[in-house]
Structure 1
């Protein structure tokens, strides 16, 4: 907690020198960080800022790798089901089509958006933002795309879909012979890469780079 004098001093500071904690709303002076350092909220311990080394290069590599896995993760077989002499192959796309053809069109659209459409849009937004920073062009468009990405974050539910796949495998394994397909490995890899990308792609560094303030984005 800060005293009255400290509060008065914070009020007199320009907005670009202030920061508020996303968790507890504590208002404080924005810290000056060296490369590789991070700042935490003194009240709740939430990570406020971080300057990760080689953020841009690492994020670009992860975004491109995730995009390369996107097609095999969604269109290659997740599992091979052997039941009563018949073999079927299931993919993420075939599951969406089965729901749609079965009359569950609203559910099919929701599954498509959450498991395929929005994750792809998120990756494309991230890649476009990183390229704006890398080539130092279209920063206004980059800001818009990065805001769009933050709005889409809550709707990408690859982990929920993966849990559904695993639950289905556990329930079916007692009824039929199941072989894991290459699509499942690609799907898990895509999920892990997206999580890793969100960790590496430091929001504060991206905002600063898009506004022309960052000295660290390319290091």
Structure 2
């Protein structure tokens, strides 16, 4: 094993067992023989496909934040609101903690993840590492679990069903845009971004 290059080795993050990497076929998953942890899975999407998905997600993200999410009607009067309208309303009603958490997990973290991932993939198209590559990879690792669009969509759907007993409720385009964004983020979550270390090279000083 000592004569193999670093790119041909695969190390289990849980028990530090070292394996020689081989190319996985479609649907294959490599697991550690000692602790059964997942080591690697086949990635059908290339860098260009991932970059296209990032651009698509950013377009959907803009639409989700611009379009109304839900419209409530009572006695013939209707009122719709966007995500930021809901965040501002919660802030004004003394729910600052919930308002900040919603803004961070539904807007700032997803936006950060898409911008950073797009930046890294743009340079990876030519096999280069983007400026700040190491710090940005660490940032993606920490930000990833906090993008909670799927929790918001599920909570919004439950709220719509319950509110329907008291109001006329209309699901607006914003909630569908967030549902589409959730699907895209789910795709990103299944991609092993560690591949970027192997697909890119550091430019010589």
TM-score (norm 1): 0.80
2:146 aligns to what? 155
Q: CA deviation at 1:206?
A: 1.5
TM-score (norm 2): 0.85
Which of residues 179, 182, 190 in structure 2 aligns to 1:191?
182
Q: 1: CA distance between counterparts of 2:93 and 2:3?
A: 61
Q: CA deviation at 1:26?
A: 4.9
Structure 1 residues 99, 61: closer, same or farther in 2, change over 3 A?
Answer: same
Q: Higher helix fraction: Structure 1 or Structure 2?
A: 1
Q: CA RMSD in A?
A: 2.5
Q: How many residues align?
A: 200
Which of residues 92, 97, 105 in structure 2 aligns to 1:101?
92
2:136 aligns to what? 145
Q: 2: CA distance between counterparts of 1:50 and 1:168?
A: 37
1:27 aligns to what? 17
In the TM superposition, 1:23-62 aligns within 5 A as 24-33=14-23, 38-50=29-41, 52-62=43-53
Q: Which stretches in structure 2 are left out of the alignment for 5+ residues?
A: none
- 1:18–1:27: 8 Å Cα contact kept in structure 2? no
- 1:128–1:142: 8 Å Cα contact kept in structure 2? no
2:71 aligns to what? 80
2:194 aligns to what? 204
Q: CA deviation at 1:163?
A: 2.0
Greater length-normalized contact order (CA 8 Å, ≥ 6 residues apart): 1
Q: CA deviation at 1:136?
A: 4.0
Q: CA deviation at 1:44?
A: 4.6
Which of residues 105, 110, 114 in structure 2 aligns to 1:119?
110
SS at match of 1:203: coil
